[in-house]
Amino acid sequence: MRTLKFAVLGLLNRRPMTGYEIGKEFDYELGQFWNAKHSQIYPELKKLLDEGLVVFDVEISGDILEKKRYTITEKGQLELLKWLHKDEPLEKTPKDIFRLRMYFSNNLDLESRIHLLESQLIQHEKRLSILNKTMEQYPEGVPPHDTDRFGDFIVLESAIMREEYAIEWIKKCMGYCKAALEKEQGKTK
Amino acid sequence: MRTLKFAVLGLLNRRPMTGYEIGKEFDYELGQFWNAKHSQIYPELKKLLDEGLVVFDVEISGDILEKKRYTITEKGQLELLKWLHKDEPLEKTPKDIFRLRMYFSNNLDLESRIHLLESQLIQHEKRLSILNKTMEQYPEGVPPHDTDRFGDFIVLESAIMREEYAIEWIKKCMGYCKAALEKEQGKTK
DNA sequence: TTCGGCATGTAACTCGTTACATGATTTT
DNA sequence: AAAATCATGTAACGAGTTACATGCCGAA
């Protein structure tokens, strides 16, 4: 499906970048829904070059270091636009190891379950608080629909909602476990 | 990380199954968070056999057809239990092609965006309605915490909440696009 | 008797991660 | 001077998908 291809084209359509800079982009908003390491990015850039979708200029940084700054071509922009318009069926639901674990959790005692849930809860709350902090960069609310910031904003909002949903579910599960625990302890007393 | 290994062990810990039946399990609740095709399952079963975590009996169906019914061993149960207790850090956030598309959507006209969002919305609503239908199988509410049905129930609940969050986000985005569209049309008039 | 589902396997390929490899530049 | 970061690449491996390959069983 070559999705990385379009992630890279989309980024280069924002501004010319080096492979290294493309990698850095995944540290920000976009990283919540896509990611790639440099070991995947450099070969992809080479492919895009062969396909004529990008070109590069060599830039000298300092005395020796050569940086390849890639720019999207007109052909690249056309391919990107075509991909953006694609109305595709829903993807397979993504895998989730923690939910797999909880699926089999009837084999664990209630205390262990609560401990695992608590640990996940803390981590999700931490992640959510970072995302909320990032959201403070948009005090003006929704950015104009024809700017890059619009994309940044809506995926950030999605990431925040995803964390909120994750937290809500974990709390629900903890509620079930704690209720069962109290019922059991009531019996033993 | 060998996660499939534990998915298979967990299923066999519920009841002995053939490779084919393991594949079928992913059509139900568990399939919302894990999946594997038979081409992955059969080699995995062979590995588990070599590791002494499962055994199998040959069962004759009809006159000729041989079915291998796998059973988890005590060693397998121990490994499963050990894995279930593991408190691991949050996974990388999963990739999402639609959100990647929306991240770059400032390059699309508002009508195209609304069209894409509408299409996703319909599909998510369809999926949600199927999940809600499945939930009707639990009229008694939360099943007992020490039964297989507890796992079935909580992952189903998670799947429903995930769809609800997806729908909420899409509606929000559509709201932004429609507001921008009306503002633009107001200008042209 | 034919079609859909049951049943088991392998092979080729894509995608992604970790590790290997190297070296320059900037900051402390 | 050392450490962190910038910068570019390749190799080996693991996970997962699609396609190849075969054949039985039960129902219409």
pLDDT tens profile B52-110: 999 999 999 999 989 999 999 999 999 999 999 999 999 999 999 999 999 999 999 99
Angle, nearest 10°, between helix axes B110-135 and B148-188?
Answer: 160
Please give the distance of CA A135 from its chain centroid, rounded to a whole number.
15
Whole-number average pLDDT of chain A: 97
Protein B84 CA to nucleic acid C4 C1', in Å?
A: 38
Strand D within 7 A of A16 CB: no
pLDDT tens profile B33-49: 999 999 999 999 999 99
Q: What percent of chain A has pLDDT over 70?
A: 99
Which residues 53-82 of chain B have a CB under 7 Å from nucleic chain D?
61-65
pLDDT at position B42 is 98
Q: What is the mean pLDDT of residues A117-133?
A: 98
pLDDT at position B187 is 76
Residues of B in contact with A158 (CB under 8 A): 99, 169
Residues of A in contact with B27 (CB under 8 A): none
Paired tokens of A52:
């004529």
| Under 8 Å between Cβ of A10 and B103 | yes
Cα torsion A138, A140, A144, A148 to 10°: value is -20
Which of B110, B158, B183 has the highest number of chain A CBs within 10 A, making it the mutation to test binding with A? B158
pLDDT at position A185 is 86
Give domain limits for chain B. 3-85, 97-188
Protein A109 CA to nucleic acid C13 C1', in Å?
A: 43
Whole-number average pLDDT of chain B: 97
B103/A13 touch (CB, cutoff 8 Å), yes or no:
no
pLDDT tens profile A73-110: 999 999 999 999 999 999 999 999 999 999 999 999 99
A3-85 has which fold?
Arc Repressor Mutant, subunit A (1.10.10)
CA distance A63 to chain B (A): 36
Confidence band (pLDDT; 50, 70, 90) for A189?
Answer: low
| Under 8 Å between Cβ of A21 and A59 | no
Q: What percent of chain A has pLDDT over 90?
A: 96
Q: What percent of chain B has pLDDT over 70?
A: 99
pLDDT at position B65 is 87
pLDDT: which is higher, A62 or B152: B152
Strand D within 7 A of B139 CB: no
pLDDT at position B156 is 98
B6/A88 touch (CB, cutoff 8 Å), yes or no:
no
| Under 8 Å between Cβ of A131 and A159 | yes
Residue B1: strand, helix, or coil: coil
pLDDT at position B189 is 56
